Chain A
Amino acid sequence: MSDLLRFATAGSVDDGKSTLIGRLLYDSKAIFIDQYEAVERVSTQRGDDYVDLALLTDGLRAEREQGITIDVAYRYFATPRRKFIIADTPGHPQYTRNMVTGASTADAALILVDARKGLTEQSRRHSFLATLLGVRHLVVCINKMDLVDFSQEVYDAIVDEFTSFASRLHVGDLEFIPISALAGDNVVTRSARTPWYDGPALLYHLEHLHVASDRNLSDVRFPVQYVIRPQSVKARDYRGYAGTVASGVIRAGDPIMVLPSGFTTTVAGIDTPNGEVPEAYPPMSVVLRLADEIDISRGDMLVRPNNQPTARQDLDLRVCWMDESAPLSAGRTLAIKHTTVWARVKIREVVYKVDVNTLHRDESAQQLELNEIGRVRMRASRPLFMDDYAENRATGAVILVDEATNRTVGAGFLA
């Protein structure tokens, strides 16, 4: 059985990110001949010396013209062991919101470090954002090793520097790989030019990265998404509660409590797209049938009676602000979406903002501008059943929406 791994990459044009992705796609045969030929044609027209694999990932006309990546692009490749979804994001500070977006669903993040330059502001920023967004696995690719004669000293120095920096972040799993994306060393196959390196090639590492235990299987959280009540003769008595298991393992016969009402009952059965099953776990989409008829609607959350999230109306969240038209400041009212619930929040206070390069906290900050990250206090129009984001990504996260424009203007999480 092959499973799914989502990983994020971030980087700018010259650090070899596009070349690395191009190589992973090309060597796993995810790039097709007509795509390659189209890129080759454009490269030739522009008078490039080599086929610019960055053109494969830069999908919009403006990006191709300016030679930059401005948005998240999703790329796909598969090996017999795994399917991979790459969220490919730009690396500049002005695209922090795109990096945050890409990291929000990622299991792992690839951090590229140019062996000639060592640890830069950019690699620090990417690592910080990835870990902030709950990415447990950092894979640091020390690239362009061919340009430093595959020097172990250079590699070791960067590993030491990065390890010391990473001790300030919440990294679950940190791995270093010396590579040359251009020449292919240690990307798909182990290189003979790094005899001092005894780890795996990048693709092998990604194929074997153990992410199953990252999922929260202990706290049952089931946000009700949709109530299924057939208006047909053949299933007249059916009533089920559809949703995606946010966390925990739900079994038929389990006691269950409905929030916010507090009513309890038991799970009578679990229906899936492929028939009834004895248990459900994240990220399955299922329909729960309950033993008693109680009033349950979208936005309610089903949990175990002895394991409940805290009902919070005063929220203290990390927020990444994403709106170019106006900053986030005290007094604003916004719409908020948490699991399947829409509510409103009134912003009380910007507590501090973080410099994403130095991790320094600026407590004199009064507002968050576009792409800034900080801690924000707000009051919600109804209690939200949130968990710590570090424990539970699905129930620890919210989006903020401007009701005047309906645009998504912020991402928040409980940390």
Chain B
Amino acid sequence: MTGYVLSQLRALEAESIHIIREVAAEMQRPCLLFSGGKDSVVMSVLAQKAFAPARIPFPFMHVDTGLNFPEVIAFRDWWMEQLEVQLVVASVPDAIERGLVQEEPNGSRNRIQTPVLLDAAEQHRFDALFGGARRDEEKARAKERVFSFRDDFGQWDPKNQRPELWNLYNGRVFSGESIRVFPLSNWTELDTWAYIEAEDIPLPNLYYAQERDVVKRDGMLYAVNEFVVPKDGEEIRRMRVRYRTMGDANLTAAVESDAETNEAIVAEIAAARLTERGATRGDDRVSEAAMEDRKKEGYF
């Protein structure tokens, strides 16, 4: 009978495709949140497979903080053409100009992108937003449902979540309310990379090791670019580094690595002893409950 067992990667793929199709079938106006990071790229590949040979039947949205790596924006535009999907860009700089949000004193746009996302979702009347979050990323996420209900303020109430049984998802909402859907809930970082390798999925080249000028800041390595200018006393070093996540260019650190191929990255992740967020994200270091607080407000 062993012939009728799916490998764990194919079982995860099947589950994700089931989830994506449920949303397309039951929700009025779904939209896929696309950041250009590997998880959203994997999610977009799963969406493509879910409806092939037809096109993906919903648009994508990118919340552009204005602080993206230029490589990510270039990749995004190229990938949208490959998938033939419509892209909605919700721009944080535009929202600052309109007075919807204000720049935070520390220069981080992590928190202020939430109102921009909610505003765009409301304008387009999206009732379901796909996100690439995984439960293994962070402990507040470990408890989030696959179909995660948001009230008409976009808020998540972790203590009052809908029970979620079998694969019988409940996406019913009233006007103004919405759900966030996480098709990659049960994937780990290693699964994501194993899938990228198995399917030969294209990614922004920042994920692969290159020699870069870096400075060490708060114990993390930041590549020098237009967003990261060395401060007085910071020593510039030339190192082989790659990125494990794609956040804002001013707050996303790189890790020392020689991994230039998907195969090498899979080996590196399998041996990694730091979470990807802990290793590279300045924005998660605020407090023990930083992610839970942002999620309650409507963060991804």
A interface residues with partner B (beta carbon < 8 Å): 1-4, 29, 32-35, 38, 42, 56-62, 64, 70-76, 78, 82-83, 85, 97-98, 100-101, 104-105, 212-213, 215, 217, 225-226, 228-232, 234-235, 238, 242-244, 249, 271, 273-274, 281, 283-285, 298, 322, 335, 337-340, 393-394, 397-399, 401, 406-408, 411
**Cβ-closest chain A residue relative to B159:** A62
Nearest chain B CB to A393 CB, angstrom units: 7
Q: Are B54 and A229 in contact (CB under 8 A)?
A: yes
CA of A64 to CA of B174 in the docked complex: distance in angstroms? 33
Q: Are B21 and A398 in contact (CB under 8 A)?
A: no
Q: Are B159 and A32 in contact (CB under 8 A)?
A: no
Using a CB-CB cutoff of 8 Å, which residues 119-171 of chain B contact chain A? 135-136, 139-143, 158-159, 161-168, 170
Most chain A beta-carbon neighbours within 10 Å: one of B51, B166, B185: B166
CA of A274 to CA of B195 in the docked complex: distance in angstroms? 12
- B50, B54, B163: the one contacting A230 at CB < 8 Å is B54
Q: Are B21 and A100 in contact (CB under 8 A)?
A: no
- A215, A243, A338, A408: the one contacting B4 at CB < 8 Å is A215
**Known A42-B288, A408-B163: A3·B6 in contact at CB below 8 Å:** yes
Nearest chain B CB to A127 CB, angstrom units: 19
Which of B10-18, B66-74, B100-108, B208-216 sits within the interface? B10-18
Q: Are A61 and B289 in contact (CB under 8 A)?
A: yes
Q: Are B172 and A105 in contact (CB under 8 A)?
A: no
- B21, B158, B165: the one contacting A101 at CB < 8 Å is B165
| A71 CB contacts on chain B under 8 angstroms | 143, 158-159, 161
Does any Cβ of A come within 8 Å of B274's Cβ? Answer: yes
17 contacts between A and B (CB under 8 A): A32-B272, A32-B273, A32-B274, A34-B279, A56-B139, A73-B139, A101-B164, A212-B5, A225-B25, A230-B53, A238-B54, A244-B14, A273-B46, A285-B21, A339-B168, A340-B22, A397-B168
Q: Are B273 and A235 in contact (CB under 8 A)?
A: no
- A238, A335, A339: the one contacting B53 at CB < 8 Å is A238
Does any Cβ of A come within 8 Å of B188's Cβ? Answer: yes
B interface residues with partner A (beta carbon < 8 Å): 1-2, 4-8, 10-15, 17-18, 21-22, 24-25, 46, 49-55, 135-136, 139-143, 158-159, 161-168, 170, 172-174, 185-186, 188, 190-191, 272-275, 278-279, 288-289, 292
Nearest chain A CB to B259 CB, angstrom units: 18
CA of A240 to CA of B172 in the docked complex: distance in angstroms? 26
Q: Are B5 and A340 in contact (CB under 8 A)?
A: no
Q: Are B8 and A4 in contact (CB under 8 A)?
A: yes
| A338 CB contacts on chain B under 8 angstroms | 168
Q: Are A398 and B4 in contact (CB under 8 A)?
A: no
CA of A274 to CA of B52 in the docked complex: distance in angstroms? 10
CA of A352 to CA of B122 in the docked complex: distance in angstroms? 46
**Known A226-B24, A244-B14, A397-B168: A82·B8 in contact at CB below 8 Å:** yes
CA of A401 to CA of B165 in the docked complex: distance in angstroms? 12
Q: Are B288 and A38 in contact (CB under 8 A)?
A: yes
Q: Are A285 and B5 in contact (CB under 8 A)?
A: no
**Cβ-closest chain A residue relative to B147:** A408
- A56, A76, A283: the one contacting B15 at CB < 8 Å is A283
| A72 CB contacts on chain B under 8 angstroms | 143
**Known A83-B8, A285-B14: A242·B21 in contact at CB below 8 Å:** yes
| B49 CB contacts on chain A under 8 angstroms | 273
Q: Are B279 and A399 in contact (CB under 8 A)?
A: no
Q: Are A85 and B53 in contact (CB under 8 A)?
A: no
9 smallest CB-CB distances across A and B, nearest first, come from A34-B278, A59-B139, A273-B49, A230-B54, A235-B53, A285-B17, A4-B8, A83-B8, A406-B172
**Cβ-closest chain A residue relative to B164:** A101
Most chain B beta-carbon neighbours within 10 Å: one of A42, A58, A249, A283: A283
**Known A34-B274, A284-B14: A76·B188 in contact at CB below 8 Å:** yes
- A3, A339, A399: the one contacting B8 at CB < 8 Å is A3
CA of A58 to CA of B5 in the docked complex: distance in angstroms? 33
Q: Are A411 and B6 in contact (CB under 8 A)?
A: no
Nearest chain A CB to B161 CB, angstrom units: 7
| B10 CB contacts on chain A under 8 angstroms | 274, 284
Q: Are A281 and B4 in contact (CB under 8 A)?
A: yes
**Cβ-closest chain A residue relative to B140:** A59
- B14, B24, B185, B274: the one contacting A33 at CB < 8 Å is B274
CA of A70 to CA of B161 in the docked complex: distance in angstroms? 11
**Known A59-B143, A73-B143: A249·B4 in contact at CB below 8 Å:** yes
Q: Are A322 and B163 in contact (CB under 8 A)?
A: yes
**Known A284-B6, A393-B166, A408-B170: A273·B54 in contact at CB below 8 Å:** no
| A100 CB contacts on chain B under 8 angstroms | 163, 165
Q: Are A33 and B143 in contact (CB under 8 A)?
A: no
Nearest chain A CB to B187 CB, angstrom units: 9
- B162, B166, B273: the one contacting A397 at CB < 8 Å is B166
Q: Are A212 and B2 in contact (CB under 8 A)?
A: yes
CA of A2 to CA of B9 in the docked complex: distance in angstroms? 8
Nearest chain B CB to A276 CB, angstrom units: 12
Nearest chain A CB to B23 CB, angstrom units: 10
| B164 CB contacts on chain A under 8 angstroms | 101, 408
Most chain A beta-carbon neighbours within 10 Å: one of B49, B172, B292: B172
| B186 CB contacts on chain A under 8 angstroms | 74, 76, 85
| B278 CB contacts on chain A under 8 angstroms | 32, 34-35
Q: Are A283 and B166 in contact (CB under 8 A)?
A: no
**Cβ-closest chain A residue relative to B271:** A29
